[in-house]
Amino acid sequence: MITIGIAEDQALMRESLAIAKGLEADLEIAWKTETGRQTVDAIKENKVDVVLMDLRMPDMDGVTATKSIHSMYPKTKVIVLTTFDHDEWILDAIHAGASLCLLKEVPPKQLLEAIRLIHSNQFLLSKWTDEWRKFAPEIQFKANLRDQNGWAAQTKQDKWSVDQETLTHRDLEILSRIGQNLTNVEIAQALFLTEGIVKNYISNLYLKIGVKNRAEAIRYCKQKGIV
């Protein structure tokens, strides 16, 4: 029996997920929560095998809740379900410990299969078909490839070894402003881009230079003399 926790602030979505899982003989819904903080409290009282995690919830977001769960119960798998195919949010969730991110419109049959594969440690992003990838934000496949190539296992000193020649002029423009601690909105205004485009650039930059967050990106800029 695979025990499941559902963290979702929308009642209709929460109950729909519970009904779908409740019809499967090998799946059991242990609890349902509406906020990130409730989710962390719930798993402390009743540890589960898999958590279906919404990214945007009141009082504590899904990324923070995922990080807490992963630190307390590293064997618990977290599957993020999101309405937004937003690269930076997805990367944050993966770095926080999520095993997989899926769009909420994923067909129930495929979600059930993902739960079973992840629980049995038989899940490989590299073997996903195009049909699967329609419901999975693409950035996680790039992140997975990076990890397979050993980037995630490098030391901090190694991470700064990416040559500036591998970066485009636009990459350097954005990095220099990250190094100046500008917000995404400020970068967008300075470069006459939309905030969404800037966020996508930054997510891809994180993968390219081997960093996980803004603080590491700022350190990279200082190490490379970009600022």
Looking at the structure of the chain, the number of domains it has is 2
Asked if 53 and 20 sit in the same domain, the reply is: yes
Q: Which of 99, 129, 148 is the last residue of a domain?
A: 148
- What is the SS3 assignment for 18? helix
Q: Identify which has the larger pLDDT, 22 or 61.
A: 61
Asked if 31 and 137 sit in the same domain, the reply is: yes
Asked if 98 and 135 sit in the same domain, the reply is: yes
The residue whose two tokens read 């995690």 is 53
Q: Identify which has the larger pLDDT, 149 or 94.
A: 94
Asked if 206 and 173 sit in the same domain, the reply is: yes
pLDDT single digits (tens) 186-214: 998 988 888 888 888 888 888 888 888 89
Asked if 159 and 123 sit in the same domain, the reply is: no
Q: Report whether 167 contacts 212 (CB < 8 A).
A: no
State the chain's maximal CA–CA distance in angstroms: 58
Q: Report whether 110 contacts 135 (CB < 8 A).
A: yes
> Tell me, what CATH number does 131's domain have?
3.40.50.2300
Domain that holds residue 216: 154-224
The span from the CA of 51 to the CA of 21, in Å, is 12
**pTM assigned to the model:** 0.67
Q: Report whether 87 contacts 19 (CB < 8 A).
A: no
Q: Which of 115, 148, 181 is the last residue of a domain?
A: 148
| 27 phi and psi angles, rounded to 5 deg | -120, 140
Q: Report whether 131 contacts 108 (CB < 8 A).
A: no
pLDDT single digits (tens) 39-87: 999 999 999 999 999 988 888 989 899 999 999 999 999 999 988 767 7
